[in-house]
Amino acid sequence: MGLFLTGAIMITAASPYFLINLAKAYLKNKNYKNYDKRKIAQAFSYLKRNGLIILKEEQGKITAELTENGKRKIKQYQFEELKIAKPESWDKKWRIVIFDIPEKRKKAAREALRSKLIDLNFFQLQKSVWIHPYPCENEIQLTAEIFGVTRFINIIIANKILNDVKAKIHFGLL
């Protein structure tokens, strides 16, 4: 429960109306009386102590604001839960992710990127060329940002790839 509250607070804290949203969510639950106010206070304390939020008092109201470290943690959480949504029908366009990350400088980042592309079910067309049939630009941008390789990655949207039969089989499009 504490871990859930901490995660929920971290995600909700991105909103300028953080405490209002938290209070509404708290009161909407039929069993809100069962929530332990101390646990909520502990979650706030944990987030503040770990530099994830800053509590401010303005005009008699307390607000919570994410720190840069808190924003990074949210991105990390989003990254771990990252999935590419499959639309009802394919728009017949390929999303081609290409990258050229320098060997000496970013070998670990390159390997991590490849691993994440596999996790996201991309099809490897060539060594540093991966394809996916569904919109994934935001997911790739977040991934590149997390690994610090944004300037080495490009995304191309193409209507056709010659010899794409294996890729279509991979994605169940045939």
Q: What is the pLDDT of residues 149-167, one digit of tens each?
A: 899 999 999 999 999 999 9
Q: What integer pLDDT is reported at residue 89 of this predicted model?
A: 94
* Portion of the chain with pLDDT greater than 70, in percent: 75
Residues of the chain with CATH 1.10.10.10: 2-79
Instruction: For 147-170, give one letter per residue: b (16+ CB within 10 A) or e.
Output: bebeebbeeeeeeeeeebeebeeb
User: Is residue 11 predicted with pLDDT exceeding 80?
Assistant: no
Q: What integer pLDDT is reported at residue 59 of this predicted model?
A: 84
Higher-pLDDT residue of 118 and 112 is 118
Q: What integer pLDDT is reported at residue 135 of this predicted model?
A: 96
Say which range, 13-17, 27-31, 111-115, 134-138, has the weakest mean pLDDT: 13-17
Are the beta carbons of 131 and 117 closer than 8 angstroms? no
3-state secondary structure (DSSP) of residue 66: strand
pLDDT band of residue 128 (cuts 50, 70, 90) is very high
Fold for domain 2-79? Arc Repressor Mutant, subunit A (1.10.10)
pLDDT band of residue 77 (cuts 50, 70, 90) is low
pLDDT band of residue 62 (cuts 50, 70, 90) is confident
Give the pLDDT mean for 38-50: 76
Structure tokens at 9: 């607070």
The CATH number given to 87-170 is 3.30.70.240
Q: How far apart are CA 110 and CA 132, in angstroms?
A: 18
Residue labelled with tokens 């490009």: 154
**How long a stretch of residues is the chain?**
174
Q: What integer pLDDT is reported at residue 169 of this predicted model?
A: 96
Indicate the residue type of 155. I
Q: What is the CA radius of gyration of the chain?
A: 21
3-state secondary structure (DSSP) of residue 32: helix
Residues of the chain with CATH 3.30.70.240: 87-170
Give the pLDDT mean for 100-109: 81
pLDDT band of residue 35 (cuts 50, 70, 90) is low
Whole-prediction pTM: 0.61
